[in-house]
Amino acid sequence: MSDIKVKTAPVLGVDGRSAGHLLEVDNLHVEFRTRDGIAKVINGVSYHVDAGETLAVLGESGSGKSVTAQTIMGILDTPPGFVTDGAIRFRGKDLLTMGKDERRLVRGEGIAMVFQDALSALNPVFTVGFQIAELFRKRRGMSRADGYKRAAELLDLVKIPAASARLRDYPHQFSGGMRQRVMIAMALALDPEVLIADEPTTALDVTVQAQIMDLLAEIRRDRNMGMILITHDLGVVADVADRIAVMYAGRIVEQADVHALYGKPCHPYTLALLDSLPRLDLKGQELNTIKGLPPNLLRIPSGCAFHPRCTMARDICLTQRPALVELGGVRSSACHFAEELYGRE
Amino acid sequence: MGRYALRRLLQAIPVFIGTTFLIWFLVWGLPGDPFAGRCGEKACPPAYVNYMTEKFGLNDPLPLQYLNYLKNLATGNFGQTFNGLEIGDLLAQAFPISMKLAVVAVLAEALIGITAGVLTGLRRGSFLDNLVLVSTLVLIAVPIFVIGIVARYAFGLASVSPEAPWTELIIPGLILGSGSLAYITRLTRVNIVENRRADYVRTAVAKGLAPGRVTGVHLLRNSMIPVVTWLGLDLGALMGGAIVTEGIFNIRGIGGLLFGAIARRESGIVVSIVAILVLVYLIVNLLVDLLYGVLDPRIRYE
Amino acid sequence: MSSPEVATATAEAAVLPTTPAAAEPPRKDKPRSLWTDAWYELRRKPLFVISAIMITIFVLMAAFPSLFSSVSPNAADLNKSLTPPDFGAWFQFGKGGQFGYDLQGADIYSRTIYGARASIVVGLSAVLGNMLLGGFFGILSGYLGGWTDSLLARFGDIFLGLPFVLGALVILSTFAPVQSSPSAVRITTLVIVTFIMLGWPSFARIMRAAVLSTKQLDFVHAAQALGARPGRIIFRHVLPNAVAPMVVVGTITLGAYIGAEATLSFLGVGLRQPVVSWGIMIGDSRQYMEAAPYMMAFPAAFLAIAVLSFVMLGDAVRDALDPKLR
């Protein structure tokens, strides 16, 4: 791999299709073969991200948002996880069918990932300097000294005070927020084109959360990266994301521009999510909540998977699964009453 | 860490005193005639008994005898056998041989055990995994003395020569370490299996590192922490645990010396050997504890 | 721990706005305790089933050896000295000679069967003794804490500081010198007492840990606050918690003790004539490896299978009781 990279987006796909995206997940299906049966974790997810844009993937735990990210990175645990259908194209080339070595080189350099819990994601027995410099040494063939020098620069970039002194520290010697910065520095080391951030702030204090989100947004802007932000926290999304994909039971139920989605949600699940946000103007009233629990993926409900918890559910929802339909050419929703919701005032 | 080491060292002192006293008391302190049967069929002549009683201070009160013994021990004086040999000399001959044997055993454990453990941990449920599992069960189940006798017969081995060169110690060492070898294999395997799915291994993969580096550096380094500490403890234990192996192969180490001393009721040798082995055991324990902290930076000593 | 994503309700889900408890559907599975769960798990494990069957056979052998052999283990006929095994006799009960005859002309099959008793009696008694003594001191340390705890810990260290075979060698040779021939009951008791002396601190540590972890539990605090007496708390709350680790360590230790008993008997400091023991038989066979390999093969095989059965049983029980490894 050469040091110099030319960023061009969108890219022309190898199959000759134009309008190829930088990273494109296409009709992905993943199942977990467990002792209790087959859990269909992802059932035809498609989304894409281009350079300089942030896609937020929103959903409860078990919605398949993290599994999708793991499949993109190629770090899905197999077994139990198996990809049964679909494609993941990066710069037009399908990651799922390319050779092992070729795919390995995409990791870190093409697509990098920031994990949720930096304490467990960083190796406890190596210094952070070692773990970052390792990338330069093994992937760029740099000397130990140069690797550490670059590592210090990165720690500086993610605003860790006294960066070069902290290279010799172990992960457990950092605070939660600082540790997540280390994680981000590591992901940025090889200058990736797409950054996947899997719940990067869930394990952090609220005040630190905002700092990390700001840092990510700033870096994304400076480097013109594509970013996939995986989260269950609606509050985080609004300021950072360009587009939002809402996932439920392994499917995308609504996808829209961030303003459109917040302004007029067109799926009952999104509606319920937004409704349940605490609002200052409704202070004193009881908080709205979504009834019921996320579905058991071993027994996904018939028809629309959301129907047992949906306030709008009718007979058709029990038998027919709604397709993801385009609304006004700019957004889509998978609900039998999507047009109704889109048409309301 | 220095303070922790010091505290542990201080804690070890009463244990050392207690253990040596226990053995010393069993060997010297219990009522009985220490010279019974020492002069062939007949009873020993009174002159001999008086001389020996005087020489070993057997008329002193028990606590004084023990204190005298400790005092001598502290100055490196192990005393003499009943027939006047310096126990210190006997130990100086035997100890290096036992140590060599223990080193061979631990090296074999580390080399074979860790390799087998890693291979089976990475390929859980494979043919190799099952084969190794069965082999470890056999090694655990069949006592060392059976393995030793069978091996000696099967390979037609002669006794190990008195100088105990390294080459002659290979098979006895392997046999001595066989039980621990099985344990190391299982311990390595369990740790590899457990850590394989750890988040930091996943991170290493996501960094685009080559599979060899992910396994050889990130996975192995973490999985080795309990294994290495266990190997350290085993080195200490094996120095004293070689009685059976040394007996079967006629190796002139500590174990053989001890067993002969017990058969001949050479009390001085027995107590001295136990004292040394307990000391080794305690020191090794302390070192392994400190080693643990070196291997795992998360450990803090307070 | 197959996949976190499959879990239907996790801590993360609680962050999302959902109605807690109220809307939670009743669990369809019957509430299963640790033990019923473990039992369910164990029944399906071939290793567990095999080792349990083997142990049952060994225990039967120890209790009623005459069920397996009608020949006396001590009847020696020098005319039969070193007669090789008669494989034809394997299917004729009461004939003898299945495994051949030893130097004295005693029936090896019969001796091997009768040898199970020594192993089982020593192993079982020593482990039970360890559990009682270690359990008692463990409760004492854990419950009283403070200097009692430190004192007992140091006291236990004295025995743990002795390598097992070494310690046993010295103790046994003191009370039963190498050339002496104590009675069967005396030497067996001595071996058991020696094992308990050297083994109790390990069991005390387990019990102490169980006591300490139980003391932290809220319902124990509640029981204390309500004025429950220590004895009641120990029996109702602490002991049930300590049973699982005690059973696991006890089973594995039992296997190890059977091996240790044989080793010491082999060395001539453990059990000796007139007790029939696999270790003694193997020791006797040493000089005849070439002429009569069967003298060693059969007792060694029984010994190995017995040790293996207990170790495997302990392993299986631990796996079943430790949900972390599932």
Asked if residue B107 belongs to a domain, the reply is yes
- In total, the C-beta contacts within 8 angstroms joining chain A to chain B are 73
**Which residues, in sequence order, are bridge partners of residue A58?**
A231, A246
Query: Which of A109, A126, A172 has the CB atom closest to B208's CB atom?
Result: A109
Task: Give all chains having 3 or more CB-to-CB distances under 8 Å with chain A.
Answer: B, C
Which residue blocks in chain B are alpha helix, DSSP H? Answer: 2-24, 46-55, 62-74, 87-108, 114-122, 127-141, 144-154, 166-176, 178-196, 199-206, 211-213, 220-240, 243-248, 254-263, 267-295
**Measured CA angle at B237 (ends C287, B192), to 5 deg:** 110
Asked if residue B129 belongs to a domain, the reply is yes
Contacts of B145 in chain C (CB under 8 A): 262-263, 266, 282
Contacts of A108 in chain B (CB under 8 A): 206-208
**DSSP annotation of B125:** T
Asked if residue C303 belongs to a domain, the reply is yes
CATH of the domain at C270: 1.10.3720.10
Report, in this order, helix, strand and coil percent for chain A, each rounded to 5.
Answer: 35, 25, 40
Between these two residues, C79 and C285, which has the higher pLDDT value? C285
Give the position of tokens 């502290």.
B74
Provide the shortest C-alpha distance from residue C229 to chain B (in Å). Answer: 34
CB–CB contact A123 B222 (8 Å): yes
CB–CB contact B141 C300 (8 Å): no
Nearest CA in chain C to B143: C259
Contacts of A105 in chain B (CB under 8 A): 208
Asked if residue B235 belongs to a domain, the reply is yes
Asked if residue B254 belongs to a domain, the reply is yes
- Number of neighbouring beta carbons within 10 Å of residue B301: 14
pLDDT interval class at A345 (50, 70, 90): low
Q: Does C226 touch chain A (CB under 8 A)?
A: no
- Give the pLDDT score at B241: 59
Between these two residues, A104 and A284, which has the higher pLDDT value? A104
- Number of neighbouring beta carbons within 10 Å of residue B220: 18
At A250, phi and psi to the nearest 5? 80, 15
pLDDT interval class at A133 (50, 70, 90): very high
Q: What is the pLDDT of residues A164-193, one digit of tens each?
A: 889 999 999 998 888 988 998 999 888 899
CA C91 to chain centroid, in Å, comes to 32
Whether residue A268 has a cis bond before it, omega within 30° of 0 = no
CB–CB contact B199 A121 (8 Å): yes
Q: Is the pLDDT of residue C5 over 70?
A: no
- Give the pLDDT score at C201: 93
Nearest CA in chain A to B197: A77
Query: Chain C interface, mutation test: which of B9, B13, B15, most C Cβ atoms within 10 Å?
Result: B15
Asked if residue C87 belongs to a domain, the reply is yes
Q: What domain range is B228 assigned to?
A: 91-264
Nearest CA in chain A to B292: A125
In chain A, where do the E strands start and end? 23-34, 37-49, 54-58, 81-90, 93-94, 111-114, 194-198, 226-231, 243-248, 251-257, 325-327, 331-333
Whether residue A80 has a cis bond before it, omega within 30° of 0 = yes
Between these two residues, B3 and C253, which has the higher pLDDT value? C253
CB–CB contact A288 C2 (8 Å): no
- Give the pLDDT score at B32: 65
Pairing of strands A331-333, A251-257: antiparallel
Distance from C-alpha of A246 to C-alpha of A270, rounded to nearest angstrom: 7
Give yes or no for a contact between C198 and C204, defined as CB atoms under 8 angstroms apart: no
With a pLDDT cut of 90, the percent of chain B lying above it is 11
Query: Which of B137, B263, B278 has the CB atom closest to C161's CB atom?
Result: B278
- Give the pLDDT score at C131: 94
CB–CB contact C3 A32 (8 Å): yes
CB–CB contact C170 B142 (8 Å): no
With a pLDDT cut of 90, the percent of chain A lying above it is 17
- Give the pLDDT score at A293: 77
Q: What is the pLDDT of residues B169-226, one digit of tens each?
A: 888 999 999 888 998 998 999 899 888 888 999 999 999 898 889 998 899 988 888 8
Averaged pLDDT, A43-47: 89
CB–CB contact A123 B204 (8 Å): yes
CA A5 to chain centroid, in Å, comes to 24
CATH of the domain at B197: 1.10.3720.10
Q: Is the pLDDT of residue A54 over 80?
A: yes
**For chain B, how many structural domains are there in total?**
1
Pairing of strands A81-90, A243-248: unpaired
Nearest CA in chain C to B276: C162
Distance from C-alpha of A333 to C-alpha of A270, rounded to nearest angstrom: 10
Asked if residue B195 belongs to a domain, the reply is yes
In this predicted structure, which of A139-153, A289-303, B6-20 has the lowest mean pLDDT? A289-303
Query: Which of B202, B208, B218 has the CB atom closest to A104's CB atom?
Result: B208
Provide the shortest C-alpha distance from residue A55 to chain C (in Å). Answer: 20
CB–CB contact B244 C263 (8 Å): yes
B227 vs B44, B109, B114, B179, B194, CA distance in Å? 54, 10, 8, 15, 14
Provide the shortest C-alpha distance from residue C210 to chain A (in Å). Answer: 28
Query: Which of C158, C165, C282 has the CB atom closest to B19's CB atom?
Result: C158
Asked if residue C235 belongs to a domain, the reply is yes
Pairing of strands A194-198, A226-231: parallel
Contacts of B210 in chain A (CB under 8 A): 104, 138
Asked if residue B141 belongs to a domain, the reply is yes
In this predicted structure, which of A200-209, C27-36, C47-56, C139-148 has the lowest mean pLDDT? C27-36
Distance from C-alpha of C232 to C-alpha of C212, rounded to nearest angstrom: 16
CB–CB contact B203 A121 (8 Å): yes
Q: Does A151 touch chain B (CB under 8 A)?
A: no
**For chain C, how many structural domains are there in total?**
1
CB–CB contact C17 A77 (8 Å): no
Q: What is the pLDDT of residues B120-153, one digit of tens each?
A: 988 887 889 889 988 898 888 888 888 888 888 8
At B194, list the tokens.
């457990």
Between these two residues, C318 and A114, which has the higher pLDDT value? A114
Averaged pLDDT, B110-127: 90
- Give the pLDDT score at A128: 92
Q: Is the pLDDT of residue C11 over 70?
A: no
At A283, the amino acid letter reads: K
Q: What domain range is C269 assigned to?
A: 34-325
- Give the pLDDT score at C325: 43
Contacts of A135 in chain B (CB under 8 A): 207-208
Give yes or no for a contact between A253 and A267, defined as CB atoms under 8 angstroms apart: yes
Give yes or no for a contact between C209 and C149, defined as CB atoms under 8 angstroms apart: no
Nearest CA in chain C to A199: C12
Q: Does B193 touch chain A (CB under 8 A)?
A: no
Query: Which of A64, A289, A295 has the CB atom closest to C19's CB atom?
Result: A289
Contacts of B244 in chain C (CB under 8 A): 165, 263, 266-267
Provide the shortest C-alpha distance from residue B18 to chain C (in Å). Answer: 6
Asked if residue C257 belongs to a domain, the reply is yes
Q: Is the pLDDT of residue A278 over 80?
A: no
In this predicted structure, which of A85-94, B239-248, C93-102 has the lowest mean pLDDT? C93-102
Report for A51-65, A312-326, B159-173, C117-131: range of highest mean pLDDT:
C117-131
Whole-prediction pTM: 0.79
Whether residue A192 has a cis bond before it, omega within 30° of 0 = no
Averaged pLDDT, B106-119: 92
Q: Is C97 helix (H, G, I), strand (E, B) or coil?
A: coil
Give the position of tokens 């192995």.
B220
Distance from C-alpha of B121 to C-alpha of B128, rounded to nearest angstrom: 10
CB–CB contact B142 C304 (8 Å): yes
pLDDT interval class at A18 (50, 70, 90): very low
- Give the pLDDT score at A19: 55
Max Cα–Cα distance, chain C, nearest Å: 89
Distance from C-alpha of C194 to C-alpha of C198, rounded to nearest angstrom: 6
**Measured CA angle at A153 (ends A148, A156), to 5 deg:** 125
- Give the pLDDT score at A14: 44
Contacts of B209 in chain A (CB under 8 A): 104, 134, 138-139
Q: Is the pLDDT of residue A197 over 50?
A: yes
Asked if residue B5 belongs to a domain, the reply is no
Give the position of tokens 């003395």.
B145
Q: Is the pLDDT of residue C306 over 90?
A: yes
Contacts of B204 in chain A (CB under 8 A): 123
- Give the pLDDT score at B112: 94
CB–CB contact C5 A62 (8 Å): yes
In this predicted structure, which of A123-132, A256-265, B283-292, C234-243 has the lowest mean pLDDT? C234-243
**DSSP annotation of A309:** G
pLDDT interval class at C19 (50, 70, 90): very low
Q: Using beta carbons and an 8 Å cutoff, which residues of B are at the interface with C?
A: 11, 14-16, 18-19, 22-23, 26-27, 30, 137-138, 140-146, 149-150, 153, 237, 240-241, 243-244, 247, 258-259, 262-263, 265, 270, 274, 277-278, 281-282
Q: What is the pLDDT of residues C261-305, one digit of tens each?
A: 998 988 888 888 888 899 889 888 888 877 788 888 889 999 999
Contacts of A34 in chain C (CB under 8 A): 2-3, 6
- Write out the DSSP string of C119-132: HHHHHHHHHHHHHH
Mean pLDDT of chain A: 83
Query: Which of A64, A80, A292 has the CB atom closest to C2's CB atom?
Result: A80
Q: Is the pLDDT of residue C194 over 80?
A: yes
Asked if residue C5 belongs to a domain, the reply is no
Cα first-last separation, chain C: 7
Q: Does B194 touch chain A (CB under 8 A)?
A: no
Torsion of CA A321, A327, A333, A338, to 10 degrees: -60
Asked if residue C27 belongs to a domain, the reply is no
Contacts of C7 in chain A (CB under 8 A): 61-62
Nearest CA in chain C to B283: C161
- In total, the C-beta contacts within 8 angstroms joining chain B to chain C are 109
Asked if residue C4 belongs to a domain, the reply is no
Q: What is the pLDDT of residues B225-271, one digit of tens each?
A: 889 888 888 887 787 658 888 888 888 888 888 888 888 878 888 88
Report for A15-29, B83-97, C192-206: range of highest mean pLDDT:
C192-206
In this predicted structure, which of A243-247, C223-227, C291-295 has the lowest mean pLDDT? C223-227
Q: Does C21 touch chain A (CB under 8 A)?
A: no
- Give the pLDDT score at B81: 78
Dihedral over Cα of A218, A219, A225, A228: its sign:
negative
Asked if residue B32 belongs to a domain, the reply is no
Distance from C-alpha of B290 to C-alpha of B9, rounded to nearest angstrom: 12
Q: Which of A113, A114, A77, A70 is nearest to A95 (CA)?
A: A70
